[in-house]
Amino acid sequence: MRKVFLLFVSIAIVGFTSCSKEDILGKDAKVKVKVTKFGIPQNGETVYMFDSLKKEFFRPFFAKDESVTENGVATFYIGAEKFGNKKQKAFYFAIFKGGYYYKVATNIEKSETKTVEINY
């Protein structure tokens, strides 16, 4: 009886530790958004991330994520679950200034690291 119990516990431990979320979904994608004004990096700018360009939803309120620039760069970590069953997906990054917005679009693959720039 004790052997059966130890066997069951061993199988359970191996089962719980062998597959992590990262193994199943892949690593997070990483996007660095460089924000410049006339080529000069801008600190303290809030950059918003969107997964759609629908005009009525392209406002900070509907953003999927936001990050503030440090040394002119805002960093976003995009979880593999946001890709669904697709290998790559388009994401849009924008800053909003005085009633206008400045944006950049990029296609990114799961686990990829990419740098894009918004210049205004």
User: Is the Cβ–Cβ distance between 60 and 48 less than 8 Å?
Assistant: yes
Which residue positions in the chain have pLDDT lower than 70? 1-26
pTM over 0.85: no
Distances (CA, A) of 71 to 27, 49, 78: 25, 19, 21
Phi, psi of 87, deg, nearest 5: -75, -35
**pLDDT computed for residue 104 by the predictor:** 96
Distances (CA, A) of 120 to 42, 76, 85, 102: 10, 20, 35, 7
What is the DSSP track for 25-80? H-PPEEEEEEEEETTEE-SS-EEEEES---GGG-SGGG-SEEEE-BTTEEEEEE-G
**pLDDT computed for residue 56 by the predictor:** 75
**pLDDT computed for residue 52 by the predictor:** 87
Q: Quote the mean pLDDT of the chain.
A: 85
Task: Dig out the tokens for 68 from the structure.
Answer: 């503030």
Domain range list for the chain:
25-119
pLDDT in tens, 47-76: 999 998 887 788 899 999 999 999 999 999
**pLDDT computed for residue 79 by the predictor:** 93
**pLDDT computed for residue 24 by the predictor:** 46
Tell me the CATH number for domain 25-119. 2.60.40.1120
